[in-house]
Amino acid sequence: MHSSRIGRKTLDSFAVLLSHFTSIGVGLVIPPVASRTMPDAKSEMGVFALLMLIYSFASVLATGSLGSFAIWRQDLERAGKSTLYWLSLALGLTTSGILVLLCFPITAWLAIPAWRFGLMAMAISCIPLSWSGVATSILRKHHRFGTVLAVEIFRNASLIFISCSFLFAGFGVWGLILGVVIANLVAASSATLAEGGPSFEFSSAIAKDAFTYCKGLAGFNCVNYWSRNLDNLLVGKFYGDSVLGSYSIAYRMMVLPIRLAGTVFGGLLLPYLAPIQDDHIVLRKKLLQVVQATGLLIIPLMTLFWLERKHIIDWYLQPGWEDTIKILGILVPVGMSQLLISPLGICYQLSGRTTRLFWVGIFNSSVVAIGFVVGLLGDLHWFVVVYSVVNIILLYPTVHFSFSCVGGRFSEWLRSVLPFAAIPLCCYLIDYSFMHDQNMLTDMFASVILVACVSLLTTALWLKAPMRFILNQLMPYSKSRIA
């Protein structure tokens, strides 16, 4: 019985991780197709990035955190479930209606008035998006993770197929827009069929509880959204859609490893650490182990990407994306520091200090916004440099406010992550001094060997403990665990 429960949990975890990976995969498949089929790829991808920026914020409003309430609420009977469906429909219709009315002024302000009907189509698709959010959350609530995985695969496969088909047919940005709209319809219909859908019942008590629960979380999600995406809005507005096309690709590739780490650890970290949340000494030790394990797994990959960004971008998007390559030279090291901070965000939840999380988010967002305003005084290169400096400034308060929730200090975190600085630094110095081969294959091969050797040497000197931690997680039921 115990082994069957372990097997079920393993399958559930695998399904959750795979569903996240399919969503990440969409962002990797479509850009190279777009860059090869669009006549003016940078400008058109910049236009779509602006449209997605507004649409994604509308989707945050349309979902309204009702899915989180559906999972959190324990006594959610048939009437309560139906209430959430109808609330999601009302929220989707309201958000969609407001955005449709604002399409003309928004696109005019962003200097893309020709795409007002494209934004209008994406706005209307917020209705099925909101509906599917409740349906998939109810499926998760009942641990039907395999079904959720099937819905995600069906949706993302539709998105890739429709978008790429229209791109090859010469539809350009409209191909990407139609892909989003049709994928949302596919997700809503498939999730509703799998879950069963609502009845015509409605509970005012559930609606009131949902409003009480969701208002704070939805507010935080809105603030957090713009703290992460304000740079794209400002770049698109003040530098133009062509520049945004280069910047958005670079930023997306910078955060990809962080998303991967969040996918792997985010869904599993809370249940793993929750049983020891009151033992702060053990909890801090486990958290730092996770931070070091994350760095040991991903920092070498980010270093390799950093060294070979020109070859990789030329192969991935075709030559001509020099601005993206330059931006990545600055952003990837920033991404490395963010990667080593991201696991500490769970400290707020483990300690129950979510109010502090909200105010820290407000503080960080305000500092970032000021940095962006300063960045606008120069060109795009200056903007990216200022963004990097702001992230360095926020390093201490971000670690301090989160880690101190469980009694940790900034110096503890710094000692645990300092060895990781040796990997990119040593690799860069060696690559800059001795490796000047312009052939992609030989250059990539040499860089792989270089990063592997430096990473192994760094592990042998300073990172034996996180390596043992990783190996023990990979062999959890081995009789002879690595001491």
List, for residues 223-274, the tens digit of each pLDDT value.
Answer: 778 888 888 999 999 999 899 999 999 998 888 888 777 665 655 566 567 7
- What's the pLDDT at 5? 45
Residue 163 lies in a domain: yes
pLDDT confidence band for 319 (50 / 70 / 90): confident
- Is the per-residue pLDDT at 19 higher than 80? no
pLDDT digits (tens, 9 = 90+) for 115-173: 999 999 999 999 999 999 999 888 878 878 788 888 888 899 999 999 999 999 999 99
> Which tokens sit at 234?
């400002």
With 0-12 CB in 10 A as exposed, 13-18 as middle and 19+ as buried, what is 171? middle
pLDDT confidence band for 371 (50 / 70 / 90): very high
Residue 379 lies in a domain: no
Average pLDDT over residues 458-474: 77
Domains of the chain: total: 1
Average pLDDT over residues 311-325: 91
- What's the pLDDT at 266? 55
- Round the average pLDDT of the chain to a whole number and report it: 86
- What's the pLDDT at 1? 45
330 within 8 A of 254, measured Cβ to Cβ:
no
- Is the per-residue pLDDT at 17 higher than 70? no
pLDDT confidence band for 356 (50 / 70 / 90): confident
Helix or strand holding residue 311 (H, E)? helix 309-317
Residue 10 lies in a domain: yes
Most confident of 2-16, 373-387, 463-477: 373-387
Residue 297 lies in a domain: no
> Which tokens sit at 179?
């892909």
Instruction: Give, in order, the Cα–Cα distances in Å from 41 to each of 30, 59, 174, 326.
Output: 12, 26, 13, 18
CA 372/CA 97 separation, integer angstroms: 31
Where are the alpha helices (H) located in 377-439, listed in sequence order? 380-393, 395-403, 410-417, 422-434
With 0-12 CB in 10 A as exposed, 13-18 as middle and 19+ as buried, what is 29? middle
Residue 186 lies in a domain: yes
CA 373/CA 231 separation, integer angstroms: 10
Most confident of 206-215, 266-275, 448-457: 448-457
DSSP state of 427: H
Residue 260 lies in a domain: no
- What's the pLDDT at 415? 93
Residue 249 lies in a domain: no
Tell me the residue range of the domain where 60 lies.
1-236
Neighbours of 423 (CB within 10 A): 24
Residue 241 lies in a domain: no
